[in-house]
Structure 1
Amino acid sequence: MYLHATTGTIDFLSSLQQKHPDVSISARGPEAILYYEDNKEKSIFSTNMTYKVLNEQGSLDEALPLSMFYIPAAGDGTHSLRGHLSDLSEELRAVNGIVSYRVGVNTRDENYIVLIKWADMSIYNDFKHTDVYKNYLTSDSLKKFRNEESLFGDYLSSKTYYNIEDNEYTEEEKEELSD
């Protein structure tokens, strides 16, 4: 199974979704993400965001909020990181409020993605204070997988997206956009 995604503005991706109705959309302020799953390695998108799904649970429901964690890997740390993320998958199975998740590896560059669908955003906010989050998804917990090849890059980036109807700018996003 493969997870395919692309990012862009809501307006552009909404028009792209109209051409591909089986594709899901989520948004964060003016940004959006389109994503879908299938058994083909080749994506309908031209971006390099195709991930071979390594671990999964549940189905991806467009109506629910999601968090995406992008985790670059390089060199010798790649296989250890894969084991770390496999352990994370086991931990996620027991977290209340997680509706579904995907852990995948990019088919071209060995970077990883963790996508989690939440029953409600307040659950995600609570999750950020748990040992599972601290031990598996923070920069500190991922630091041990770094090597010389990855020292100068961002080691973790994450974004939260909402369904289109619930997409509103948070105070933090409004502040960022006004800069």
Structure 2
Amino acid sequence: MKAYMTNGTYEFLSKLQDKYPQIAFYYMAGGGSALAYYENYKKNIFTAGREYLVLQESGSIKTSGYVVMNNIAVTDDGTAAFEDRFKQRAGEIDKMPGFQAFRLLKPKKGNTYVVFTQWASETDFESWKNSDTFQKQHQHGPTKPPAFFADKPFVTTYTMIDQD
């Protein structure tokens, strides 16, 4: 499955639904702009969008909630180790209260993977971050990143914009 996203103003992005009624768009706001996301469609309809291969998925993306995208640049030599690391911990996040969806997105161009998680609320995400399970899975800590990181990861957060 593939996933696509682009940034812009909500006024511009919301018009996509009229132009492409066959696509289920998800709209998010954060960092002073909006983001349109869709998946499982045959092609990228965005002029300036990003395309990803969905390597892992669980849960269903909802039209309401809180989205956290961990953007991780991975070295060419480190892609197999990075992807394997996620395979080893699959299913743990799904058990957390407020969890809605998870996607591991591999970029078609470039080397920045996106770890997409969606939560019912920001509080649910913070509870996950403070959980023993999170600590176990992220035990390398922020000061010693794994060797396969090409650059320091960064996080973007969004609140879903409910179209209904």
Distance of 1:18 and 1:161 partners within structure 2: 23
- Give the deviation of 1:94 after TM superposition: 2.4
Give the length in aligned residue pairs: 159
- Give the deviation of 1:25 after TM superposition: 0.4
Q: Which runs of 5+ in 2 are unaligned?
A: none
Alpha-carbon contact 1:10-1:30 (below 8 Å) kept: no
Distance of 1:33 and 1:97 partners within structure 2: 22
3-state SS of 2:118 partner? strand
| TM value normalised by structure 2 | 0.81
* Seq. identity, %: 28
Alpha-carbon contact 2:76-2:111 (below 8 Å) kept: no
Alpha-carbon contact 2:61-2:118 (below 8 Å) kept: yes
Structure-2 residue corresponding to 1:143: 145
- Give the deviation of 1:128 after TM superposition: 2.0
| TM value normalised by structure 1 | 0.75
Alpha-carbon contact 1:17-1:24 (below 8 Å) kept: no
Q: Give the superposed CA RMSD.
A: 2.6
Whichever residue aligns with residue 10 of structure 1, its letter is Y
Q: Which deviations, in whole Å up to 9, do the C-alpha atoms of 1:60-117 show, x marking residues without a partner?
A: 1122221111111112211111111223433222222211111121122343111111
- Give the deviation of 1:39 after TM superposition: 4.7
Structure-1 residue corresponding to 2:54: 53
* Higher percent of residues as strand: 2
Alpha-carbon contact 1:102-1:116 (below 8 Å) kept: yes
Structure-1 residue corresponding to 2:66: 65
Structure-1 residue corresponding to 2:20: 20
Q: Which deviations, in whole Å up to 9, do the C-alpha atoms of 1:94-150 show, x marking residues without a partner?
A: 222211111121122343111111122210122222344443498738711346xx2
Structure-2 residue corresponding to 1:177: none
Structure-2 residue corresponding to 1:83: 84
Distance of 1:13 and 1:35 partners within structure 2: 10
Matches within 5 A, 1:87-166: 87-134=88-135, 135-136=137-138, 140=142, 143-146=145-148, 150=150, 153=151, 155-164=152-161
Distance of 1:34 and 1:138 partners within structure 2: 32
3-state SS of 1:162 partner? strand
